[in-house]
């Protein structure tokens, strides 16, 4: 075993293991995600988490892959960006990594539609991204030659190889129906030149994460009306106006850049916590910095009172008991809407562009 691997992982076996990527520092919350899903799937897991590692490895007992995938589809994780089932850690030779990787791939029910070489999203992991890029093309060519990859693979099975250091790897698979659409669960987005703040990337990623291509085309159309609570300096307003929506930006602070003069934008300098529209809108978005439970109550009330049909919002998390706080917020939203007998969808996810926060989406069915 490579000496650079953290000792906490050294005792793991090659029995089925669940691997999950997460934001560095949120390993405990990621492990709580896996425990919640495992309980529903009837699986017992023992998680190994190292602070700052940016991934969690959970040894499984009694894993039924079909039941696990069903539980994952019905209970998407909040903090785990990407999850796959595999085994490891496996040691590789610096002289030849491709041959043993192909041998490991053979044990994971090929063929595969996609091959993802990954690292943890940590400073140490980023240092190995060049290795993954160098290996990707020759490994894919060798996999195709060995008939391990088929572009029309009907299961949409992805092969993951997670390099924890240059010669140590976890290998496994995820399915397109339940796994992240991006390697490591990271949506790679470019910062728009005209956007007034990087917060615009949060809303862009949220729309990619919570809505399918068909839903975005149908539900985020030019001419729709939207409200942005806590709009300044205008990153979320820019994202909506850029898509052709007519936006009412609510904030006592100023909008910056070209968005301040955009004809699709009306800026009202009023209190975002108390202001309400005269008529309902399709969307309300909210990035107000406030206690998460108060934001949960606010957005739930907007939907329950008929002011909007859909909302995307951020919950700024406390330093401790973050998972419990998210559970509390989910309960507040659920109870508020269920009292009105409103059928709804609630999704929560810590996005790549989030920091000490989690993003939510509510939609009436």
Domains of the chain: 7-185 (3.30.2130.30), 200-364 (3.40.50.150)
**pTM listed for this prediction:** 0.93
Backbone dihedral angles phi then psi of residue 350, each to the nearest 5 degrees:
-80, 110
Sites in the chain below the pLDDT cut of 70: 1-15
Phi-psi region of 266 (alpha: psi -120 to 50; beta: other; left: phi over 0): beta
Q: Quick count: other Cβ atoms within 10 Å of Cβ 179?
A: 22
Res 11: pLDDT? 56
Nearest to 94 by CA among 4, 18, 33, 180: 4
Is residue 76 within 8 Å of 101, Cβ to Cβ?
A: no
How far, in Å, CA of 137 to CA of 117, rounded?
10
End-to-end CA distance of the chain: 51
- Which one of 126, 256, 316, 321 is the catalytic residue? 316
Q: Quick count: other Cβ atoms within 10 Å of Cβ 114?
A: 18
Res 89: pLDDT? 93
Res 8: pLDDT? 63
SS3 annotation, 266-335: EEECCCCCCCCCCCCEEEEEECCCCCHHHHHHHHHHHHHCCCEEEEEEEEECCCCCHHHHHHHHHHHHHH
Res 12: pLDDT? 63
The two three-digit tokens of residue 194, written as one number: 């005209």
Res 153: pLDDT? 82
Cα–Cα distances in angstroms (integers) from residue 31 to residues 21, 56, 153, 161, 260, in the given order: 10, 6, 31, 20, 43
**222 exposure class (CB count in 10 Å sphere: 0-12, 13-18, 19+):** exposed
Nearest to 337 by CA among 362, 294, 304: 304
Asked about 316 being catalytic, the answer comes back as: yes
Res 259: pLDDT? 97
For residue 14, the SS3 value is: coil
Instruction: Give the model confidence (pLDDT) of 117-170 as tens digits.
Output: 999 999 999 899 999 999 999 999 999 999 999 988 888 999 999 999 999 999
Res 1: pLDDT? 37
Res 49: pLDDT? 87
Res 3: pLDDT? 43
How many degrees, rounded to 5, is the angle at CA 57 between CA 56 and CA 58?
115
Beta bridge partner(s), residue 102: none
Tracing tokens 């405990």 back to the chain, one arrives at 28
Backbone dihedral angles phi then psi of residue 358, each to the nearest 5 degrees:
-140, 145
């Amino acid at each position: 075993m490579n000496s650079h691997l953290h000792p906490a992982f050294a005792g793991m076996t090659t029995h089925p293991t669940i691997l999950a990527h997460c934001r560095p520092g949120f390993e405990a919350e990621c492990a709580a995600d896996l425990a919640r899903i495992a309980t529903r799937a009837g699986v017992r897991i023992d998680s190994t988490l190292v602070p700052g590692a940016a991934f969690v490895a959970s040894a499984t007992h009694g894993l039924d892959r079909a039941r696990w995938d069903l539980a994952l589809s019905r209970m998407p994780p909040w903090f785990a960006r990407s999850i796959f089932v595999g085994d490891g850690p496996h040691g590789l030779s610096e002289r030849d990594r491709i041959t043993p990787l192909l041998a490991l791939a053979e044990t994971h029910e090929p063929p595969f539609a996609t091959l993802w070489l990954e690292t943890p999203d940590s400073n140490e992991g980023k240092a190995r991204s060049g290795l993954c890029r160098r290996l990707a093309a020759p490994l894919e060519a060798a996999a195709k030659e060995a008939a391990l990859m088929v572009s029309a693979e009907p299961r949409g099975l992805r092969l993951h190889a997670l390099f924890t250091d240059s010669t140590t790897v976890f290998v496994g698979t995820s399915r397109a129906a339940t796994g992240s659409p991006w390697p490591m669960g990271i949506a790679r987005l470019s910062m728009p030149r005209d956007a007034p703040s990087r917060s615009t990337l949060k809303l862009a990623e949220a729309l990619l994460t919570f809505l399918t291509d068909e839903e975005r085309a149908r539900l985020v159309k030019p001419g729709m009306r939207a409200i942005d609570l806590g709009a300044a300096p205008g990153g979320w307003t820019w994202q909506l106006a850029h898509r052709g929506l007519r936006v009412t930006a609510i904030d006592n602070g100023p909008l910056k850049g070209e968005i301040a003069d955009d004809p699709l934008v009306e800026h009202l300098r009023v209190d975002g916590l108390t202001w309400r529209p005269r008529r309902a809108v399709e969307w309300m978005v909210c990035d107000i910095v406030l206690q998460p439970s108060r934001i949960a109550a606010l957005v739930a009330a907007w939907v329950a009172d008929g002011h909007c049909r859909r909302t995307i919002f951020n919950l700024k998390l406390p330093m401790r008991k973050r998972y419990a706080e998210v559970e509390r917020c989910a309960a507040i939203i659920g109870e508020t809407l269920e009292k009105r007998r409103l059928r709804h969808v609630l999704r929560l996810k810590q996005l790549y562009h989030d920091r000490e926060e989690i993003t939510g989406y509510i939609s009436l069915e």
